[in-house]
Structures are given as structure tokens and as C-alpha cells.
Structure 1
Amino acid sequence: MKSPQGDPKDHPVTEFEQGLTGTCLCGSIRVTIHDQELFARRRGHLCHCSNCRKVAGSYVSANLIIEEEKVEIQDNAGTLKTYNDYDTLSGNPVFRSFCSVDGNPIKSETPLSPGKVIVKMGIFPRIPEPEMEGFATHRHPWEGDLEGTVKYKLARGGEKLEE
């Protein structure tokens, strides 16, 4: 019996061989990731920066940085809105898109990652295991170590955190 609150263990990764689909809370925005290798290796990205934490409403934001051509977004009711976030480490904007009805974050885009989209993973029934953490120096002292992730002191791709 499937959990009414969406237990990820109710969804074997084989269920997503043709695509992983999720929706915002009200269901007006539907996102499908078309990538048969999605669960073949670690793919996710956790971000501990304050802006991503705010957007996620949590102590960390679970993201997937992926080629934009692999992401299909259906905005059936025209509720997808974008906030232009200029309060960034680089000074480059991050375009944060969300559902204007339920506030659910959907994706982010930045000129620092051309051709890529940062999909917010909380909308999906199951997500791939994270491969990296950005702004790892901003983790709360009580957070446990996620073994096996590459930890960047600040922005992903920058200086790595020594463990």
C-alpha cells in the first residue's frame, strides 16, 4: 500500500526509466525529466546558501543541475512566475521560478550555467542520491555528514572543503 504522504521507497527507480515526473502542490505545473541515466549514479546537488535555503523553506535545498533539453515543463494554468534574485555571491542573477498559486519552487536558472536548469527536487516522488554540496561551510553545526558527496566551500565547482 502506497503512503498517502509519498514515501519515496514506494517508488522503485525502475519506475522512472522513461522519465521522472513531479508537480507543484496544486498540480498546475508538471515537470518531467527525460534522462534514462538519472538514477545510474549520484546526480543531485544540495545547496546550503541562504537564498536556496529560503526558497526551499528548509535547512538545505535539494536540486538537480541538468541540461535544459532534458526538462519538460507544462504550465497548464499559467501559474509559473519568476523572481530575479540579484543577491548572489557572484553578482549574477539567479532566476527562481515558482508556482504563483501554492508557492512551490520549480526551477532556477543562472547565466553561470548556460544550457542548464536547476530543478527543485522536492516536487518529485523520488530523487537521485546527491553527488555534491554547495556552500558546505554554511551547514548548520548539527547537520550530519553526507558521506560520498563532494563538498564545495562556497559555489559548486570552486574550492573544495577539506574533510
Structure 2
Amino acid sequence: MPNQPTGDPNAHDASKFADSLSGSCLCGSITVTITDKDLFTKPRGHLCHCSNCRKVSGSYVSSNLLIEAEKVKIDDRDGTLKTYEDHATLSGNPVYRSFCSTDGNPVKSETSAYPGKVIIKMGMMPRIPQPETEGFGLHRHAWQGKNDGVAVYKLKWAGPEKERMS
């Protein structure tokens, strides 16, 4: 019998994640747990269309959650978490992009622009909160649909470069 499809977010009721949300990389070596009671009570996180986030995600957009570092626990069971220092950034400050060195799964990013916070790559989670913003809207593909209720910013969704498109 063939394998059943995996990853249906509708198979996971959001109420299961009232206190925390956990997900893992593809090989299972790295597990990320976010402890936050507001993950599914309101729109959270952001979609990023910058070239670097697209490359890291392997898609036309990256689903991210900027959150306080103390609310995130990362278990690196097999020691596969590696970090790439990305200097090709808008600010010129490095973004530290961490990933599983076995399966390539993006895990998190950190930057001095957001001290005390971490950017979790949400693709590894069984369910993703509805985003509240989209960054680098100028870099969206013309064929992309619009997300109702999600504010789109020309470049960054936070900081001095913040200029809203919609």
C-alpha cells in the first residue's frame, strides 16, 4: 500500500496548540517548540518575499514568526544544527540562518536588528498561524494572490524601512 499523504494542517485543530507548538526538521534530528498562548488567538508572524528568505525556504515566499527567544526551545538531538552567516542583507548586518545539516531544513534566523528575538521558519510546524504582515511586497510575483487581512509592506514589515503597500 502506498504511503498516505502527510502534512494536512486541517488534521490538527488549533486548540491543540493553546500553550505550545512543536515541529521538526525532515529527518527528525531538530525539534523546535514555541511556548506562547497567543499563537492562534490572532494573526501572527509574517510572510517574507525577500530573495534571501525565498532561497532559504525553497519557495516563492517564506513563512516566519518573530518571537522572543525565551519562548523557543530547540532540541538538536543529533548535533545537526548548523548556521550560515548571511551578509547580503538590506541593512548590511549579518543574518544568522540556522538549518539542519542532514536534510537542509531551515530552522531559524537571528539578527541584531531584533535583539532578544528569533525568527522561526514555520514550514516545519504542523499548523501555521495566520500571518499578520508580508514583507518585501515589492518583490512579490505578479501571479501571487492576495491574503485577506494581511498588511503588505514595500520592504521591511518592521523598522525604519517600513512603508505599507496595502
> What's the TM-score once normalised by structure 1's chain length?
0.96
Q: Deviations over 1:29-59 (max 9, x none)?
A: 0000000111010002100000000000000
Residue 160 of structure 1: CA displacement?
Answer: 2.5
- The DSSP-based 3-state class of the residue aligned with 2:132 is strand
* Distance across 1 between alignment mates of 2:100 and 2:24: 10
Stretches of structure 2 lacking an aligned partner (at least 5 in a row) = none
1:147 & 1:160 partners in 2: Cα distance?
A: 18
CA contact (8 A) 2:30 2:80 kept: yes
Which residues of 2 match residues 13-162 of structure 1 at below 5 A?
13-157=14-158, 158-162=161-165
- Give the aligned CA root-mean-square deviation in angstroms: 1.0
Q: 1:145 is matched by which residue type in structure 2?
A: K
Residues 150 and 160 of structure 1 are in contact (CA less than 8 Å); yes or no, is this contact kept in structure 2?
Answer: no
Report sequence identity in percent. Answer: 62
Secondary structure class of the residue paired with 1:130: coil
| Alpha-carbon contact 2:18-2:37 (below 8 Å) kept | yes
Q: Post-superposition shift, 1:152?
A: 1.1
1:109 touches 1:117 (CA, 8 Å); kept in 2?
A: yes
- One-letter amino acid of the counterpart of residue 81, structure 1: K
TM-score, normalising length from structure 2? 0.94
Structure-2 separation of matches of 1:159 and 1:28: 36
Structure 2 residue 36 is matched with structure 1 residue 11:
no
